[in-house]
Structure 1
Amino acid sequence: MRIYPEQLNQHLTQKIPSCCLIFGDEALLCLEATEQIQKAAKKQGYLEKLSFSLDGNFDNDLIFGEFQTLSLFSEKKIILLTLTKTNKENTAFIREITPLLHPDILLILQGPKLNNQQMSSVWFKTLEQKGIFVATNLPQAHRFPQWVFQRLKALNLHADKDIIDYLCLHFEGNLLAAKQEFEKLALLYPKQNLTLQQVEQSITTHNHFNLFQWIDSLLAGDQMRSVRILKQLKAEGTELLLLCATLNNEVQKLLKLSYQSQQHSLTQLFNQQQPKLWPAKQQLIRDALTRLNINKLEKMIIQCAEIEISIKVENKDSNWLKLNEITYSFF
């Protein structure tokens, strides 16, 4: 069963399954989910905890032994396995230990974000059926306000929509800074209805974005957000050449789909792609192609190529302006 981190506490009030999968790209959510599961497990009698990292140097026999050394008087135990890479060696080992799962052993398997192909693999599907999968990914833009609301509520703080929007503007993409700021607000204004003035006085800007969020905002046609992200990426020293090359690559994909969609539906084209795109990504591409025709996409590719050449010859601020011009073509 797949659940989001905010749903985890509710599931942990029941009997803990023999396997908990925690995979995602957000370290804070991964850490919190692991701690929540361990705390709930302790209340249910899992008093011993063992941790192993599957980093290529792990001792197979030692881990196997921990799954097999159970007796009538053994304590229930938690075995935490950190999967540093989802390579063949590690996944083969996981397949071998899966039949050894036991009601007196709680396996917590954590690791980086998985793609669709990895989540469709036999080892993952088998473990997911035996327990729960907590997807600890960075909340998407449309889910971030709800994440902020729930965090404030857990701290007995109350905020209206304007304040939540203001907090989202400053903390999107940086959950650790958001968590720290919310805890500070709880100390300054315990159990209060927050005002915008209180929040403005307390916080500084903590946005943290990556270039893939920038691309997604362009595809979605969200002009304000894409401009804000690009400005932040520039301030953080992100290489202009990297941004331009990434944009060029995305536009070429759109152009290819635009040509192919003249003979096949987008649904057919998406189904043929390997690895398959997330439904959310498919929708972003659909939205973009409703706004961008072939002529516009071809022009963007030429503009990107011109910027890349210009950067290699002489890196001027004018190239940033040219990149801005291309991004405005998305709206």
Structure 2
Amino acid sequence: MRLRTEQLAGQLTKQLLPVYLLSGDELLIQQECADAIRQHCRQQGITERDVLEAERGFDWNALLEAGQSLSLFADRKLIELRLGGARMDQKSSAALQQYLEHADGSNILLITCGRLDSRSLNAKWVKAIDQAGAVVQIWPVDRRQLGGWIQQRLKDNGMSADREAAELLADRVEGNLLAADQEIQKLKILLGEQAVSLETVAAAVASSARYDIFKLIDAALAGNAAYALNMYNGLVAEGSEEIPMLGAISRELRSLYNCAAAIEQGNGIDRVLDGARVWDKRKNLYKRCLGQHSVGSLSRLLQLAGRLDAAQKGQSDESPRLLFTELITGLAGQSVISYPH
């Protein structure tokens, strides 16, 4: 069957199909559709997952073996086949059709790929998926629709905005949904769950023109302590509020801590990052940072953030500036100077 993205949730509540194909270039929507399928698999007791990357030289027998292999821990599993921009040739098409011919519905196959043109949508392998499961085409959000999309997204995050504020934000992100979602998350961290006005959006955009806390965090995750500290000093010099800045860093630390804990329990890092909904473009930053840190070191950084919070509120005699420097340096994986407390 062919489904629109807004129809997927309703279909999943009725039945979990043997195969899903998510096709499109809107990475945010594709990721969220994939998350919805993963969630319903877990609800059905399907907790094991095989991830296959169909890169150059990929052995398509691996797909057939994944479908036939038995698990020691579960009767069913989710198989994710990530085509990316790879083109399906006769061999790969035949392998996929062979998999579907022998599939009995025990395992769920989730295929993701870029946008398929009309010719590809009529290919035998797509028709086979259409017959056995669902093909979900993910269309770009038109600029005329983007303001409404942003308003709905804000509502989903417990916020609201009038049309003018949403349109300004739409202009700011220039049609990039990932950027739009990032801006909404930034507003939520800075403002909490409340109405977003035109003036608020304009001020938030203006305040991030030179430096912003999210670029600072990425620099620290990359291990560039000097650059991160330079941005911190720039933000302070521009009059940025340090309490919201700490909130953003603390949120990232909690995410890193949860990832590190899951990895220490034996989970693969790629699966952990997918579960934490880390964007593809930030996964290398997370991997680098998690390679430098353990659950223990991240726990100590969270404790340091707690001390900084107390210092910012005047509940201790420690210097917020020194503690902030220590926190940024520590997150970057550099040696941390201990200050008396």
Measured against the shorter chain, the TM-score band is 0.5 to 0.7
1:168 deviates by: 1.6
1:105 deviates by: 0.6
Q: 1:63, 1:4 → 2: CA distance?
A: 27
Q: 1:134, 1:30 → 2: CA distance?
A: 9
1:92 deviates by: 2.5
Equivalent residue, structure 1, for 2:14: 14
Matching residue within 98, 107, 111 for 2:109: 107
* 1:65-214 equivalence runs, <5 A: 65-70=65-70, 74-83=74-83, 84-203=86-205
1:89 deviates by: 2.9
Deviates more, 1:193-202 or 1:11-20: 11-20
1:170 deviates by: 1.6
- % identity of equivalent residues: 29
Runs of 4+ in 1 over 6 A off after TM superposition: none
Query: What CA deviation, in whole Å up to 9, does each residue of 1:124-155 have, x standing for no partner?
Result: 12212322223234312233233212211210
Alignment: residue pair count: 206
Q: 1:174, 1:205 → 2: CA distance?
A: 20
Q: 2:23, 2:43 → 1: CA distance?
A: 24
Equivalent residue, structure 1, for 2:53: 53
Shift of the 31–134 alpha-carbon distance from structure 1 to 2, 3 Å rule, reads same
Query: What CA deviation, in whole Å up to 9, does each residue of 1:93-151 have, x standing for no partner?
Result: 21221212222110001111100111122221221232222323431223323321221
Deviates more, 1:87-96 or 1:21-30: 87-96
SS in 2 for 1:92: helix
Whether contact under 8 Å (2:60, 2:92) holds in the other structure is no
SS in 2 for 1:33: helix
Shift of the 7–157 alpha-carbon distance from structure 1 to 2, 3 Å rule, reads farther
TM-score between both structures, scaled by the size of structure 1: 0.56
Q: 1:69, 1:115 → 2: CA distance?
A: 33
Q: CA RMSD in A?
A: 2.6
Q: 1:145, 1:92 → 2: CA distance?
A: 43
SS in 2 for 1:103: coil
Whether contact under 8 Å (2:26, 2:138) holds in the other structure is yes
1:7 deviates by: 4.2
SS in 2 for 1:142: helix
> 5+ residue gaps in structure 1?
207-331
Whether contact under 8 Å (2:76, 2:106) holds in the other structure is yes
Q: 2:60, 2:206 → 1: CA distance?
A: 48
Whether contact under 8 Å (1:68, 1:100) holds in the other structure is no
1:59 deviates by: 2.8
Equivalent residue, structure 2, for 1:44: 44
SS in 2 for 1:113: coil
Shift of the 88–82 alpha-carbon distance from structure 1 to 2, 3 Å rule, reads same
Whether contact under 8 Å (1:54, 1:90) holds in the other structure is no
TM-score between both structures, scaled by the size of structure 2: 0.55
Q: 1:99, 1:37 → 2: CA distance?
A: 22
Amino acid at match of 2:129: L
SS in 2 for 1:46: coil
